[in-house]
Structure 1
């Protein structure tokens, strides 16, 4: 499965309104987990089994919770049993489709 998630404290962590310190704590957990992942400016996407992905998400929420009394979590999952390598595979298929469209 692929799990795209975004987690942040409900209140800003510093005077500029940035939550980057809290998010950095979550990303450290993701990176240490060993679960294949990709992070962009809005979400982190994990690829793995249900239990391992949800464990990482929970630990990230717990870490962000240390920065304030309330945590915001946005989560989207693509549950597709029997498929692996989709973190890259979905993008490869998209690029192929775009190239075919551009050639037409």
Structure 2
């Protein structure tokens, strides 16, 4: 994902949040990674990647908005892809719990307005 010019981007980390699709009105649970993908590359370029928990729709080229609920953890370099995949599974479980929390529901209500 590329942020809109001039928009605020949180610091590199893994986050829980909601992804809204203005064109369709759909809202999806999301786990968001902002960082340099340290397990795979050493470059300085910061990427934003979003895993939507509840859709497999192709969102490429679609304008979306992210609503951040909470920071889950720092981005880190893992020794192997298997370690990364285990961490991602834990991140998604933590994200689900945060989205189901009172704070998660408050952010969802704001996103729906």
TM-score by length of structure 2 reads 0.29
Whose strand fraction is larger, Structure 1's or Structure 2's? 2
Whose helix fraction is larger, Structure 1's or Structure 2's? 1
Higher relative contact order (CA 8 A, sep 6+): 1
Greater radius of gyration (CA) = 1
TM-score by length of structure 1 reads 0.31
